[in-house]
């Protein structure tokens, strides 16, 4: 079950360092029983692949793990879940859905999740989806472009982040349906530090659920994009704390999403969070680095510090629903 005229080799982009990316020729992946081969149409680049310390510990590697494309071949004994011609998003990791960790909804800590991977990665002309990864492979609706499909994984990370930060139950959809309501975040104040692509998606989703959203970024164009996606105001970092105090009449944020993996950003996030609030650490800082904050102020304000690492199948399905509803699209993020 193979598309005709597949080449014997393909081009891949290999990251040797953050400033050393090489185009190389490699054989097409060999399909094992139940696998699928996908012709890549679009792939994102993980923000982790821009962090030197993270890149250098695993280089060289084919980077990008947010691909979307078309199934062009199936291995022996196909499962029937995919067919040649399907337009798909494939997650680079997938859990077993059967262990105690998965039953608790902690998919990214499942032993199977940590051992699964797409071959060789997103920045390749073709990639192999192992049968195990079918548990987090989604068919794209006809109205969803491949560019939008490449946003499923990063937006899934945002979905998980907001669920953890705002204590939204996994069973509650983030897009309202005829039979189910989405969370109502009116009265919540969300402050997003860093308005890159991931920060902008946080802004768009939180605003779509009714939260009052503020953002900060050094880049004026990013600040403007945050406002276009629903932020009430976007601040320059140098004045962000004072601006947030003024905008909230001193209450500060009920939830602060810290995008950058930088000690100074985390310190600012703690300072920006009000009584009984939550600071969400979205990106890790380099191992061994430390950050300091006013522990007494955090203590007497009952502030929670939580983290959010990657995403699982429930998150990617919510992400695809948000994309299908037009809340987050590649065009909106590029505007």
Tens digit of each residue's pLDDT (9 = 90 or more) over 256-269: 999 999 999 999 99
The per-residue b/e assignment along 55-86, b for 16 or more CB within 10 angstroms, e otherwise, is: beeebebbbbbbbbbbbbbbbeebeeebeeeb
pLDDT tens-digit readout, 222-240: 999 999 999 999 999 999 9
pTM of the model: 0.95
At 311 the pLDDT is: 96
Residues 6+ apart with CB under 8 A from 118: 65, 67, 90, 92, 127, 128, 129, 130, 133
Q: Give the neighbor-by-neighbor strand order of the sheet with 273-281.
A: 233-235, 212-216, 189-193, 253-258, 273-281, 304-307
Q: Which residue has the tokens 């994102």?
A: 44
Beta strand spans in 94-245 (E): 126-129, 137-139, 189-193, 212-216, 233-235
C-alpha angle with apex 244: 240 to 249, nearest 5 degrees? 155
pLDDT tens-digit readout, 98-150: 999 999 999 999 999 999 999 999 999 999 999 999 999 999 999 999 999 99
State yes or no: cis peptide before 60, omega within 30 of 0.
yes
pLDDT for 179 beyond 90: no
Tell me what the mean pLDDT of segment 249-254 comes to: 98
pLDDT tens-digit readout, 303-313: 999 999 999 99
For residue 48, name the pLDDT band (cuts at 50, 70, 90).
Answer: confident
pLDDT for 4 beyond 70: no
Distance CA 332, CA 244 (A): 25
At 198 the pLDDT is: 97
For residue 335, name the pLDDT band (cuts at 50, 70, 90).
Answer: low
* C-beta separation of 173 from 327 below 8 A: no
For residue 326, name the pLDDT band (cuts at 50, 70, 90).
Answer: very high
């Amino acid at each position: 079950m193979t598309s005709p005229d597949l080449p014997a080799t393909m081009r891949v982009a290999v990251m040797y360092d953050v400033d050393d990316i090489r185009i190389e020729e490699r054989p097409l992946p060999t399909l094992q029983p139940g696998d699928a081969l996908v012709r890549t149409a679009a792939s994102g680049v993980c923000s982790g692949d821009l962090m030197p310390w993270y890149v250098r510990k695993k280089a060289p590697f084919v980077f990008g793990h947010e691909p979307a494309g078309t199934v062009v071949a199936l291995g022996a004994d196909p499962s029937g879940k995919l067919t040649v011609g399907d337009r798909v998003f494939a997650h680079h990791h997938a859990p077993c859905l059967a262990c105690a960790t998965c039953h608790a909804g902690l998919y990214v800590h499942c032993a199977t999740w940590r051992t699964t991977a797409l071959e060789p990665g997103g920045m390749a002309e073709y990639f192999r989806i192992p049968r195990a990864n079918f548990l987090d492979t989604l068919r794209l609706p006809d109205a969803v472009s491949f560019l939008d499909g490449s946003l499923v994984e990063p937006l899934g990370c945002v979905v998980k982040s907001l669920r953890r930060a705002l204590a939204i139950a996994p069973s509650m959809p983030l897009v309202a349906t005829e039979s189910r309501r989405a969370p109502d975040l009116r009265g919540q104040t969300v402050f997003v530090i860093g308005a890159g692509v991931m920060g902008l998606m946080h802004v768009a989703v939180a605003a779509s659920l009714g939260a009052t959203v503020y953002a900060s970024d050094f880049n004026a164009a990013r600040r403007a994009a945050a406002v276009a996606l629903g932020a009430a105001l976007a601040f320059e970092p140098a004045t962000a704390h004072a601006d947030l105090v003024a905008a909230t009449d001193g209450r500060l944020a009920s939830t602060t999403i810290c995008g950058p993996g930088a000690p100074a950003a985390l310190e600012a996030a703690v300072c920006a969070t009000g009584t009984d609030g939550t600071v969400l650490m979205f990106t890790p800082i380099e191992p061994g680095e430390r950050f300091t904050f006013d522990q007494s102020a955090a203590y007497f304000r009952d502030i929670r510090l939580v983290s959010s690492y990657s995403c699982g199948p429930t998150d990617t399905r919510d992400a695809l629903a948000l994309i299908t509803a037009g809340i987050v699209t590649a065009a909106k993020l590029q505007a």
